[in-house]
Amino acid sequence: MKTYRSWVEVDLSAIEHNVKELMTLLSSKEQFMAVVKANAYGHGAIEVCHTLNKIGVYAFATATLFEAIELRKNGIQGQILILGYTEPSLVYLLKKYQLTQTVINSTYAKLVNAQGIDIPVHIAIDSGMHRLGNTQEEFDDIASLFHLPYLHVTGIFSHLCVSDSINIENQDYTRKQIYTFINIVDKLKKRYDVGCVHLQSSYGLLNYSYLNFDYVRIGISLYGVYSSKEDYQNPHIHFKPALSLKSKIVLLKSIQKDETVGYGRTYKATQKRKIAVVPIGYGDGLPRCFAHDVLVRGKRVPIVGRICMDQLMIDVSEVDNVSLFDIVTFIGEDHGEKISVEDIAEHVHSISNEILSQLGERLPRIYQGGHYERTL
Protein backbone atom coordinates (compact mmCIF):
# COMPACT_ATOMS: atom_id res chain seq x y z
CA MET A 1 0.00 0.00 0.00
CA LYS A 2 3.06 2.26 -0.34
CA THR A 3 1.50 4.34 -3.10
CA TYR A 4 -1.71 5.19 -1.22
CA ARG A 5 -2.26 7.98 1.28
CA SER A 6 -5.23 6.11 2.81
CA TRP A 7 -7.26 3.14 1.63
CA VAL A 8 -10.01 0.60 2.19
CA GLU A 9 -9.29 -3.13 2.21
CA VAL A 10 -12.13 -5.49 1.29
CA ASP A 11 -11.98 -9.23 1.92
CA LEU A 12 -14.26 -10.74 -0.72
CA SER A 13 -14.00 -14.18 0.86
CA ALA A 14 -15.65 -12.69 3.96
CA ILE A 15 -18.59 -11.61 1.82
CA GLU A 16 -18.85 -15.12 0.41
CA HIS A 17 -18.77 -16.48 3.95
CA ASN A 18 -21.54 -14.14 5.07
CA VAL A 19 -23.75 -15.18 2.17
CA LYS A 20 -23.32 -18.85 3.12
CA GLU A 21 -24.15 -18.09 6.75
CA LEU A 22 -27.30 -16.20 5.80
CA MET A 23 -28.34 -18.89 3.35
CA THR A 24 -28.75 -21.27 6.29
CA LEU A 25 -31.74 -19.18 7.37
CA LEU A 26 -33.49 -19.33 3.99
CA SER A 27 -36.10 -21.84 2.95
CA SER A 28 -35.63 -23.77 -0.28
CA LYS A 29 -38.05 -21.32 -1.95
CA GLU A 30 -36.36 -18.08 -0.97
CA GLN A 31 -33.71 -16.37 -3.06
CA PHE A 32 -30.97 -13.98 -1.97
CA MET A 33 -31.24 -10.37 -3.17
CA ALA A 34 -28.08 -8.41 -2.42
CA VAL A 35 -28.57 -4.75 -1.56
CA VAL A 36 -25.60 -2.94 -3.06
CA LYS A 37 -26.69 0.69 -2.90
CA ALA A 38 -24.25 3.43 -1.86
CA ASN A 39 -21.36 1.61 -3.56
CA ALA A 40 -22.24 -1.60 -1.71
CA TYR A 41 -22.16 0.22 1.62
CA GLY A 42 -18.71 1.55 0.79
CA HIS A 43 -17.25 -1.83 -0.19
CA GLY A 44 -17.31 -1.29 -3.96
CA ALA A 45 -20.45 -2.36 -5.78
CA ILE A 46 -18.89 -3.69 -8.98
CA GLU A 47 -16.39 -5.98 -7.26
CA VAL A 48 -18.93 -7.15 -4.69
CA CYS A 49 -21.50 -7.95 -7.39
CA HIS A 50 -18.97 -9.82 -9.52
CA THR A 51 -18.13 -11.92 -6.49
CA LEU A 52 -21.81 -12.61 -5.85
CA ASN A 53 -22.42 -13.54 -9.49
CA LYS A 54 -19.57 -16.03 -9.21
CA ILE A 55 -21.23 -17.78 -6.26
CA GLY A 56 -24.70 -17.83 -7.79
CA VAL A 57 -26.40 -14.63 -6.61
CA TYR A 58 -28.34 -13.04 -9.47
CA ALA A 59 -30.66 -10.56 -7.80
CA PHE A 60 -29.52 -7.11 -6.73
CA ALA A 61 -31.04 -3.91 -5.39
CA THR A 62 -29.75 -0.37 -5.78
CA ALA A 63 -31.14 2.95 -4.63
CA THR A 64 -30.75 4.85 -7.88
CA LEU A 65 -30.96 4.42 -11.62
CA PHE A 66 -27.34 5.35 -12.18
CA GLU A 67 -26.09 2.92 -9.54
CA ALA A 68 -27.91 0.21 -11.49
CA ILE A 69 -26.60 1.36 -14.87
CA GLU A 70 -23.04 1.24 -13.56
CA LEU A 71 -23.53 -2.40 -12.63
CA ARG A 72 -24.90 -3.28 -16.06
CA LYS A 73 -22.09 -1.45 -17.84
CA ASN A 74 -19.63 -3.54 -15.84
CA GLY A 75 -21.17 -6.86 -16.77
CA ILE A 76 -23.29 -7.69 -13.74
CA GLN A 77 -25.84 -10.38 -14.58
CA GLY A 78 -29.32 -10.92 -13.15
CA GLN A 79 -32.20 -8.79 -11.96
CA ILE A 80 -31.42 -5.30 -10.70
CA LEU A 81 -34.22 -3.64 -8.76
CA ILE A 82 -34.09 0.12 -8.20
CA LEU A 83 -35.55 0.65 -4.74
CA GLY A 84 -35.91 4.42 -4.98
CA TYR A 85 -37.28 7.15 -7.21
CA THR A 86 -36.35 7.38 -10.89
CA GLU A 87 -37.31 10.47 -12.86
CA PRO A 88 -40.12 9.40 -15.25
CA SER A 89 -38.40 11.07 -18.22
CA LEU A 90 -35.53 8.59 -17.79
CA VAL A 91 -37.69 5.48 -18.13
CA TYR A 92 -36.08 4.76 -21.51
CA LEU A 93 -32.86 3.96 -19.63
CA LEU A 94 -34.67 1.33 -17.57
CA LYS A 95 -35.61 -0.35 -20.83
CA LYS A 96 -32.15 0.05 -22.36
CA TYR A 97 -30.34 -1.53 -19.41
CA GLN A 98 -33.02 -4.11 -18.53
CA LEU A 99 -33.70 -2.75 -15.06
CA THR A 100 -36.69 -3.14 -12.75
CA GLN A 101 -38.22 -0.02 -11.22
CA THR A 102 -40.01 0.34 -7.89
CA VAL A 103 -43.45 1.92 -8.15
CA ILE A 104 -43.40 4.26 -5.17
CA ASN A 105 -47.15 4.99 -5.33
CA SER A 106 -50.06 5.08 -7.77
CA THR A 107 -49.52 8.71 -8.79
CA TYR A 108 -45.93 7.99 -9.69
CA ALA A 109 -47.00 4.86 -11.58
CA LYS A 110 -49.23 6.92 -13.87
CA LEU A 111 -46.37 9.30 -14.63
CA VAL A 112 -44.09 6.41 -15.51
CA ASN A 113 -46.77 4.66 -17.57
CA ALA A 114 -47.35 7.88 -19.52
CA GLN A 115 -43.87 7.50 -21.03
CA GLY A 116 -45.27 4.69 -23.18
CA ILE A 117 -42.33 2.35 -22.61
CA ASP A 118 -42.75 -1.24 -21.45
CA ILE A 119 -40.82 -1.91 -18.24
CA PRO A 120 -40.96 -4.41 -15.36
CA VAL A 121 -41.86 -2.97 -11.97
CA HIS A 122 -42.15 -4.01 -8.36
CA ILE A 123 -44.92 -2.39 -6.33
CA ALA A 124 -43.96 -0.87 -2.98
CA ILE A 125 -46.57 -1.31 -0.25
CA ASP A 126 -46.80 0.96 2.80
CA SER A 127 -47.41 -1.56 5.58
CA GLY A 128 -46.67 0.92 8.36
CA MET A 129 -43.34 2.62 7.76
CA HIS A 130 -45.04 5.49 5.91
CA ARG A 131 -42.26 6.04 3.46
CA LEU A 132 -42.93 4.50 0.04
CA GLY A 133 -46.06 2.87 -1.31
CA ASN A 134 -49.83 3.02 -0.93
CA THR A 135 -51.51 1.81 2.26
CA GLN A 136 -54.10 -0.91 2.75
CA GLU A 137 -56.74 1.83 2.92
CA GLU A 138 -55.74 2.67 -0.66
CA PHE A 139 -56.18 -0.88 -1.91
CA ASP A 140 -58.07 0.19 -5.02
CA ASP A 141 -55.14 2.43 -6.00
CA ILE A 142 -52.78 -0.53 -5.59
CA ALA A 143 -55.04 -2.76 -7.68
CA SER A 144 -55.23 -0.12 -10.41
CA LEU A 145 -51.51 -0.55 -11.07
CA PHE A 146 -52.15 -3.92 -12.67
CA HIS A 147 -54.20 -2.20 -15.38
CA LEU A 148 -51.53 0.22 -16.55
CA PRO A 149 -50.54 -1.07 -20.00
CA TYR A 150 -46.82 -0.25 -19.96
CA LEU A 151 -46.03 -1.37 -16.43
CA HIS A 152 -45.54 -5.11 -16.04
CA VAL A 153 -45.75 -6.09 -12.40
CA THR A 154 -43.10 -8.70 -11.62
CA GLY A 155 -42.96 -8.22 -7.86
CA ILE A 156 -44.43 -6.64 -4.77
CA PHE A 157 -42.71 -5.73 -1.51
CA SER A 158 -42.74 -3.74 1.70
CA HIS A 159 -40.22 -2.82 4.38
CA LEU A 160 -40.15 -3.50 8.12
CA CYS A 161 -39.12 -0.41 10.07
CA VAL A 162 -38.28 -1.92 13.50
CA SER A 163 -37.38 -5.53 12.72
CA ASP A 164 -33.96 -4.90 14.33
CA SER A 165 -35.57 -4.35 17.73
CA ILE A 166 -36.32 -6.93 20.43
CA ASN A 167 -38.50 -4.44 22.31
CA ILE A 168 -41.92 -6.06 22.84
CA GLU A 169 -43.84 -3.07 21.49
CA ASN A 170 -41.66 -2.97 18.38
CA GLN A 171 -42.03 -6.71 17.87
CA ASP A 172 -45.79 -6.27 18.01
CA TYR A 173 -45.56 -3.48 15.44
CA THR A 174 -43.44 -5.65 13.16
CA ARG A 175 -45.97 -8.48 13.36
CA LYS A 176 -48.69 -5.96 12.52
CA GLN A 177 -46.70 -4.88 9.47
CA ILE A 178 -46.25 -8.50 8.41
CA TYR A 179 -49.97 -9.19 8.76
CA THR A 180 -50.90 -6.04 6.83
CA PHE A 181 -48.56 -6.88 3.97
CA ILE A 182 -49.68 -10.51 3.72
CA ASN A 183 -53.32 -9.43 3.77
CA ILE A 184 -52.79 -7.02 0.87
CA VAL A 185 -50.83 -9.57 -1.13
CA ASP A 186 -53.42 -12.30 -0.58
CA LYS A 187 -56.24 -10.02 -1.74
CA LEU A 188 -54.30 -9.07 -4.85
CA LYS A 189 -53.45 -12.69 -5.65
CA LYS A 190 -57.15 -13.47 -6.01
CA ARG A 191 -57.25 -11.21 -9.06
CA TYR A 192 -53.71 -10.74 -10.34
CA ASP A 193 -50.28 -12.30 -10.75
CA VAL A 194 -48.23 -10.28 -8.27
CA GLY A 195 -44.90 -11.84 -9.22
CA CYS A 196 -42.14 -12.22 -6.62
CA VAL A 197 -43.01 -11.24 -3.06
CA HIS A 198 -40.42 -9.88 -0.61
CA LEU A 199 -40.53 -8.21 2.79
CA GLN A 200 -37.45 -9.03 4.86
CA SER A 201 -34.21 -7.09 4.85
CA SER A 202 -31.22 -8.17 6.97
CA TYR A 203 -32.93 -7.92 10.36
CA GLY A 204 -36.17 -9.21 8.95
CA LEU A 205 -34.30 -12.41 8.12
CA LEU A 206 -32.26 -12.58 11.32
CA ASN A 207 -35.23 -12.03 13.63
CA TYR A 208 -38.15 -13.37 11.58
CA SER A 209 -36.59 -16.21 9.63
CA TYR A 210 -39.83 -18.22 9.80
CA LEU A 211 -41.31 -16.02 7.06
CA ASN A 212 -41.24 -17.61 3.65
CA PHE A 213 -41.40 -15.22 0.71
CA ASP A 214 -39.65 -15.29 -2.67
CA TYR A 215 -36.72 -12.99 -1.90
CA VAL A 216 -34.88 -11.64 1.13
CA ARG A 217 -33.15 -8.28 0.62
CA ILE A 218 -29.83 -8.43 2.42
CA GLY A 219 -27.89 -5.23 2.99
CA ILE A 220 -25.76 -4.59 6.07
CA SER A 221 -25.49 -8.28 7.02
CA LEU A 222 -23.93 -9.09 3.67
CA TYR A 223 -20.89 -7.10 4.76
CA GLY A 224 -20.50 -8.93 8.06
CA VAL A 225 -21.53 -6.25 10.51
CA TYR A 226 -24.54 -5.14 12.53
CA SER A 227 -26.04 -1.68 12.32
CA SER A 228 -25.53 -1.20 16.04
CA LYS A 229 -23.88 -2.98 18.95
CA GLU A 230 -27.28 -2.86 20.64
CA ASP A 231 -28.95 -4.97 17.95
CA TYR A 232 -29.91 -8.57 18.56
CA GLN A 233 -27.14 -10.83 17.31
CA ASN A 234 -28.23 -14.27 16.15
CA PRO A 235 -26.00 -16.77 17.99
CA HIS A 236 -26.22 -19.23 15.11
CA ILE A 237 -24.85 -16.81 12.53
CA HIS A 238 -21.16 -15.96 12.53
CA PHE A 239 -20.33 -12.96 10.39
CA LYS A 240 -16.94 -11.89 9.12
CA PRO A 241 -16.51 -8.14 8.64
CA ALA A 242 -15.30 -7.58 5.10
CA LEU A 243 -13.93 -4.03 5.33
CA SER A 244 -10.92 -2.42 6.95
CA LEU A 245 -10.00 1.27 6.79
CA LYS A 246 -6.34 2.21 6.99
CA SER A 247 -3.92 5.06 6.52
CA LYS A 248 -0.32 5.73 7.52
CA ILE A 249 1.87 8.16 9.40
CA VAL A 250 3.41 10.73 7.04
CA LEU A 251 4.90 13.18 9.55
CA LEU A 252 6.14 13.05 13.15
CA LYS A 253 6.75 16.01 15.40
CA SER A 254 7.22 16.78 19.08
CA ILE A 255 5.23 19.41 20.90
CA GLN A 256 5.90 20.90 24.31
CA LYS A 257 3.67 21.38 27.34
CA ASP A 258 0.89 23.94 26.71
CA GLU A 259 1.33 23.84 22.94
CA THR A 260 -1.86 23.20 20.95
CA VAL A 261 -2.81 21.08 17.95
CA GLY A 262 -5.19 21.77 15.07
CA TYR A 263 -8.02 24.14 14.25
CA GLY A 264 -9.53 26.01 17.15
CA ARG A 265 -6.63 25.02 19.42
CA THR A 266 -8.97 22.51 21.06
CA TYR A 267 -6.15 20.21 22.19
CA LYS A 268 -3.48 21.49 24.60
CA ALA A 269 -0.60 19.24 25.66
CA THR A 270 -0.19 18.74 29.40
CA GLN A 271 3.36 17.54 28.86
CA LYS A 272 5.76 16.90 26.00
CA ARG A 273 4.02 14.73 23.37
CA LYS A 274 4.85 13.03 20.09
CA ILE A 275 2.27 13.82 17.41
CA ALA A 276 1.78 12.03 14.09
CA VAL A 277 -0.01 13.44 11.04
CA VAL A 278 -2.22 10.98 9.15
CA PRO A 279 -3.51 11.83 5.62
CA ILE A 280 -7.22 11.09 6.04
CA GLY A 281 -10.08 13.35 7.08
CA TYR A 282 -13.73 14.17 6.77
CA GLY A 283 -13.26 14.65 3.02
CA ASP A 284 -12.66 10.89 2.91
CA GLY A 285 -15.85 10.17 4.83
CA LEU A 286 -14.69 10.14 8.44
CA PRO A 287 -17.19 11.90 10.70
CA ARG A 288 -15.70 15.19 11.86
CA CYS A 289 -16.72 14.24 15.39
CA PHE A 290 -14.76 10.98 15.16
CA ALA A 291 -12.77 11.37 18.40
CA HIS A 292 -12.15 7.63 18.65
CA ASP A 293 -8.94 5.71 19.26
CA VAL A 294 -7.05 4.27 16.30
CA LEU A 295 -4.46 1.48 16.17
CA VAL A 296 -0.74 1.89 15.58
CA ARG A 297 1.52 -1.14 16.01
CA GLY A 298 -1.34 -2.86 17.83
CA LYS A 299 -1.70 -0.08 20.39
CA ARG A 300 -4.72 2.19 20.82
CA VAL A 301 -3.85 5.85 20.43
CA PRO A 302 -6.11 8.93 20.51
CA ILE A 303 -6.94 11.43 17.80
CA VAL A 304 -6.03 14.90 19.05
CA GLY A 305 -7.40 18.20 17.85
CA ARG A 306 -10.13 18.63 15.29
CA ILE A 307 -10.26 16.37 12.27
CA CYS A 308 -9.44 18.31 9.09
CA MET A 309 -10.87 17.72 5.63
CA ASP A 310 -7.79 15.82 4.43
CA GLN A 311 -5.76 14.90 7.51
CA LEU A 312 -5.80 14.45 11.25
CA MET A 313 -3.37 14.18 14.11
CA ILE A 314 -2.83 11.38 16.62
CA ASP A 315 -0.81 11.16 19.83
CA VAL A 316 1.74 8.35 19.45
CA SER A 317 3.79 9.19 22.54
CA GLU A 318 3.14 5.76 24.07
CA VAL A 319 3.96 3.71 20.96
CA ASP A 320 7.39 2.10 21.05
CA ASN A 321 9.56 2.56 17.98
CA VAL A 322 6.92 4.49 16.08
CA SER A 323 8.17 5.62 12.68
CA LEU A 324 7.17 7.22 9.43
CA PHE A 325 4.79 5.15 7.25
CA ASP A 326 3.58 2.98 10.12
CA ILE A 327 0.08 1.74 9.33
CA VAL A 328 -2.81 3.43 11.15
CA THR A 329 -5.95 1.29 11.43
CA PHE A 330 -9.31 3.01 11.84
CA ILE A 331 -11.50 -0.06 11.19
CA GLY A 332 -10.05 -3.55 11.42
CA GLU A 333 -7.42 -5.52 13.31
CA ASP A 334 -3.78 -4.89 14.13
CA HIS A 335 -1.65 -7.25 16.24
CA GLY A 336 -4.66 -8.78 17.95
CA GLU A 337 -6.36 -5.46 18.73
CA LYS A 338 -9.57 -4.62 16.88
CA ILE A 339 -11.73 -1.60 16.19
CA SER A 340 -15.09 -2.44 14.64
CA VAL A 341 -17.34 -0.18 12.62
CA GLU A 342 -19.96 -0.79 15.30
CA ASP A 343 -17.55 0.74 17.84
CA ILE A 344 -17.21 3.85 15.74
CA ALA A 345 -20.93 4.11 15.07
CA GLU A 346 -21.66 3.94 18.78
CA HIS A 347 -19.05 6.59 19.50
CA VAL A 348 -20.52 9.10 17.03
CA HIS A 349 -24.15 8.21 17.83
CA SER A 350 -24.83 6.76 14.41
CA ILE A 351 -25.13 3.33 12.76
CA SER A 352 -22.65 1.22 10.85
CA ASN A 353 -24.63 1.71 7.63
CA GLU A 354 -23.93 5.44 7.67
CA ILE A 355 -20.24 5.13 8.55
CA LEU A 356 -19.57 2.63 5.78
CA SER A 357 -21.60 4.31 3.05
CA GLN A 358 -19.87 7.65 3.62
CA LEU A 359 -16.39 6.30 2.88
CA GLY A 360 -15.34 8.44 -0.05
CA GLU A 361 -14.43 7.65 -3.62
CA ARG A 362 -10.93 9.01 -3.20
CA LEU A 363 -10.13 6.08 -0.92
CA PRO A 364 -8.82 3.28 -3.17
CA ARG A 365 -10.40 -0.12 -2.56
CA ILE A 366 -7.96 -3.01 -2.29
CA TYR A 367 -9.58 -6.39 -2.93
CA GLN A 368 -8.39 -9.79 -1.81
CA GLY A 369 -9.80 -13.29 -1.43
CA GLY A 370 -12.94 -14.75 -2.89
CA HIS A 371 -13.68 -15.86 -6.42
CA TYR A 372 -13.20 -12.36 -7.80
CA GLU A 373 -9.83 -10.83 -6.98
CA ARG A 374 -8.85 -7.40 -8.15
CA THR A 375 -6.74 -4.47 -6.94
CA LEU A 376 -7.49 -0.89 -8.00
Residues contacting residue 177 through CB under 8 Å, at least 6 positions apart? 127, 128, 129, 158, 160, 161
Helix-then-strand count for the chain, H and E: 11, 20
> Could you confirm whether 37 is annotated as catalytic?
yes
d(CA 201, CA 230): 18
- Active-site hit among 37, 41, 215, 226: 37
Burial of 182 (0-12, 13-18, 19+ CB in 10 A): middle
Tell me which residue of 249, 262, 259 sits closest to 305, measured CA to CA.
262
Angle at 227 between CA 362 and CA 213, to 5 degrees: 110
User: Could you count the other beta carbons within 10 Å of the beta carbon of residue 326?
Assistant: 16
d(CA 199, CA 157): 5
d(CA 375, CA 366): 5
User: Could you count the other beta carbons within 10 Å of the beta carbon of residue 73?
Assistant: 10
DSSP 69-92: HHHHHTT--SEEEE-S---GGGHH
Angle at 75 between CA 71 and CA 79, to 5 degrees: 60
- Active-site hit among 229, 263, 268, 272: 263
Q: Which residues are catalytic?
A: 37, 263
